[in-house]
Structure 1
Amino acid sequence: MSAPGNPAGTVDGTGTGTGTGTGDDTGEGTGGAAGIGTVAVVGTGVIGVGWTALFLSRGLHVRAFDPAPGAEDRLRADLAALGPFPGHDGPLPVGNLTFADSAGAAAGPAGFVQENGPEREDLKHTLFGELDEAAAPGVVLASSSSGLLPTTIARGAARHPERVLVGHPFHPPQVIPLVEVVPGERTAEAAVDIATAFYTALGKRPVRLRAEVPGHLANRLQAALWQEAYSLVERGVATVADVDAAISHGPGLRWAVLGPFANQHLSGGPGGLAHILEHLGPPTERWWRDLGQVTLTPELATTLVDGVHAELGDLDGPALAARRDAVLAALLEVKSRTELP
């Protein structure tokens, strides 16, 4: 059941991959990334813009759709406003971008679908029903959902739920390498393999989850930090600016190079992680018991927002984002020349 013109690998109802030929799904020569030449980007908000930029920068054709009025003009304007990002410098080949008049029209000719709609189960079900009807049977349907379970999303895909999974990027997708690949209960192994190979070919760093949980992996880790950060501000232990400084000038620097476990291992000296767990385990457990449980009340939300405004002052948001992204690009360039896990 291979998808017409998508010979690089497809998913069938048995969970097997099919096809190994050359050519791409556009009919215009050898495929661009893992044999896939055309990608459907459904939903062109902030995340959709980043995915579109990444796909175009890697020589792929993009068929985009978003139902919002003026979405095409905003997408093209947002793409034109983007600065350089890893693997790309200069104007994007927007001649390879087509804006379709429906989600199905975007997905029909595509060899891969990246969905970026709102985080609402009902909308996902409707949208994936349309994508499932329109996309060729072997084409992977990946959702950028920040936290919905792929099994839940796949309920809308009655024909071929085996090709539905979560491919969750981190913002901005054209800069941050991470993409979480999360299969659902009915996702075929071949779909996971195809998505992983495709994202890898784009220069991404896919991490496959072994089980589906709300929020996936990195967002859950972030949420744990946010919970305590909000609590510390609410309790008057630190200001918003204090928390940001503590992370960005402290452990955040190490976390950008190695993950928490590897950093703990290095902190343990010759004894490594085993030494850390033995000597810092008991006090860490006491800290856990003292961590705050917070509710995002209107009062706390106001405190946090006011704190950010006080911290950033007159700094322009887009200009600050551009500076951040430039530093991230420099860091990624150094990491690419350094042997790290």
Structure 2
Amino acid sequence: MTSPLTAPEGVRRVACVGAGVIGGGWVAHFLARGYDVKAWDPAPDAEQKLRRLVDAAWPALTEMGLADGASRDRLTVVPTLEEAVADAEFVQESAPEDLDLKRDLLSRLDAAAPAGVVIASSTSGYPMTDMQTTAATPARLVVGHPFNPPYLIPLVEVVGGEQTDADATAWASRFYEVAGKSVITMDREVPGFIANRLQEALWREALHMIANGEATVKEIDDSITEGPGLRWAFMGPMLTFALAGGEGGMAHMLDHFGPSLKSPWTRLEAPELDKQLYDSVVAGCDVAADGRSIAELVAERDQGVIDVLRATGRLNKNGNGKADPR
């Protein structure tokens, strides 16, 4: 890999390719951190949707604290991929989850972006090893997996592929930290990465309970928001379980509860997503929404995340305060 032309702390120009929910969330995040952002998406109405998304996110970002110089006016939506990355110092790709599409797009980005510029994919499950196969210089391609919405949730998981240069992975991790993210730099590729693997296990079990009539959508959501989710906001499941062992910690917990691992509590094989289950999940979400629109739910979620970050003392951590971390 050619050495990056710009240090992570010196980046000023970011390109966002793909401007849907995740790509648009990245755009909002980078704008709030004071970067100049060029965005491209092939959809004919992409610019209107993107600017609406940024406008909707801006109140939450303002409450969290904008970096010096942060402005929605620093967004430019361009007509071609090549124009988006022509002078970029970092590229964030957020195309739909289609392996062939990802391969083609990353190859085009690699051909168009300046030499040495790191290109990161927001993929939620594909290993970079599988996506970088047709790129001319795969050494600069990394995964930068965010969580929705990227402008609020701090975590990003960074991992390279078999052909990725270790320096590119390290550069990307440092850049995300400078840009206000909380970073996990993975030592190896894992299908679905870390957090999605855990989310998927919970999701599958929830679908089983709905399919079997054991719980409703609202009961499942309440069981997390009124139960373990309150602890998970500041302490992960491993340390939470360690505390279940009292003074003996995790060792006592495993000795005491280890046999229950053989109990039929979980069914990690995914249930058949037939029409009945599909309709039950959709209808259950309508009931749980209780008349609130998607826009209202987004605003409620955003404020909830801010409240949790503030309550746990993390609102200004990782560059989320008003000072520009760069």
TM-score (ref. length: structure 1):
0.86
Q: What residue is the counterpart of 1:47 in the other structure? A: 22
Q: What residue is the counterpart of 1:118 in the other structure? A: 96
| Contact 1:127/1:156 (<8 A) preserved | no
Task: Count how many residue pairs are aligned between Structure 1 and Structure 2.
Answer: 312
1:271 is aligned, of 248, 253, 275, to 248
Secondary structure of the residue aligned to 2:312 is helix
- Indicate whether 1:7 and 2:16 are aligned: no
Secondary structure of the residue aligned to 1:287 is coil
Q: What residue is the counterpart of 2:188 in the other structure? A: 211
| Contact 1:163/1:187 (<8 A) preserved | yes
Name the CA distance, whole Å, in 2 between partners of 1:103 and 1:56.
19
Letter in 2 for 1:49: G
Shift of 1:292: 6.4
After superposition, the Cα gap between the structure-2 partners of 1:54 and 1:309, relative to the gap in structure 1 and judged at 3 Å, is: same
Name the CA distance, whole Å, in 2 between partners of 1:271 and 1:90.
48
Instruction: Write the deviation string for residues 180-211 of structure 1: whole angstroms up to 9, x where unpaired.
Output: 11211111111111111111112211112222
1:140 is aligned, of 107, 111, 118, to 118
Superposition pairs for residues 1-341 of structure 1, below 5 Å? Answer: 1-3=2-4, 6-8=5-7, 34-82=9-57, 83-85=59-61, 86-88=64-66, 93-158=71-136, 160-287=137-264, 293-336=270-313
Shift of 1:121: 1.2
Secondary structure of the residue aligned to 1:167 is strand
Bigger mean CA offset, 34-43 vs 92-101: 92-101
Bigger mean CA offset, 246-255 vs 86-95: 86-95
After superposition, the Cα gap between the structure-2 partners of 1:161 and 1:102, relative to the gap in structure 1 and judged at 3 Å, is: same
Bigger mean CA offset, 161-170 vs 214-223: 214-223
Secondary structure of the residue aligned to 2:159 is strand
Unmatched 5+ residue regions in structure 2? 318-326
After superposition, the Cα gap between the structure-2 partners of 1:276 and 1:326, relative to the gap in structure 1 and judged at 3 Å, is: same
Letter in 2 for 1:138: G
Shift of 1:289: 6.5
Secondary structure of the residue aligned to 1:329 is helix
Secondary structure of the residue aligned to 2:198 is helix
Name the CA distance, whole Å, in 1 between partners of 2:85 and 2:117.
9
After superposition, the Cα gap between the structure-2 partners of 1:89 and 1:198, relative to the gap in structure 1 and judged at 3 Å, is: closer
| Contact 1:132/1:157 (<8 A) preserved | yes
Instruction: Write the deviation string for residues 231-286 of structure 1: whole angstroms up to 9, x where unpaired.
Output: 11111211111111111100111111111111111221111111111110101332
Shift of 1:145: 0.6
Shift of 1:227: 0.9
Name the CA distance, whole Å, in 1 between partners of 2:68 and 2:294.
22
Secondary structure of the residue aligned to 1:176 is coil
Q: What residue is the counterpart of 1:11 in the other structure? A: none
| Contact 1:148/1:215 (<8 A) preserved | yes
Name the CA distance, whole Å, in 2 between partners of 1:312 and 1:46.
20
Unmatched 5+ residue regions in structure 1? 9-32
Shift of 1:2: 3.8
After superposition, the Cα gap between the structure-2 partners of 1:289 and 1:143, relative to the gap in structure 1 and judged at 3 Å, is: closer
Name the CA distance, whole Å, in 2 between partners of 1:209 and 1:87.
29
Name the CA distance, whole Å, in 2 between partners of 1:325 and 1:65.
25
After superposition, the Cα gap between the structure-2 partners of 1:171 and 1:337, relative to the gap in structure 1 and judged at 3 Å, is: closer
* Bigger relative contact order, structure 1 or 2 (CA pairs below 8 A, ≥6 apart): 2
Letter in 1 for 2:242: H
After superposition, the Cα gap between the structure-2 partners of 1:141 and 1:298, relative to the gap in structure 1 and judged at 3 Å, is: same
Secondary structure of the residue aligned to 2:145 is strand
After superposition, the Cα gap between the structure-2 partners of 1:163 and 1:262, relative to the gap in structure 1 and judged at 3 Å, is: same
TM-score (ref. length: structure 2):
0.90
- The two structures, once aligned, show a CA RMSD in angstroms of 2.1
Instruction: Write the deviation string for residues 93-141 of structure 1: whole angstroms up to 9, x where unpaired.
Output: 1222222222122112111100000111111111111111111221111
| Contact 1:231/1:292 (<8 A) preserved | no
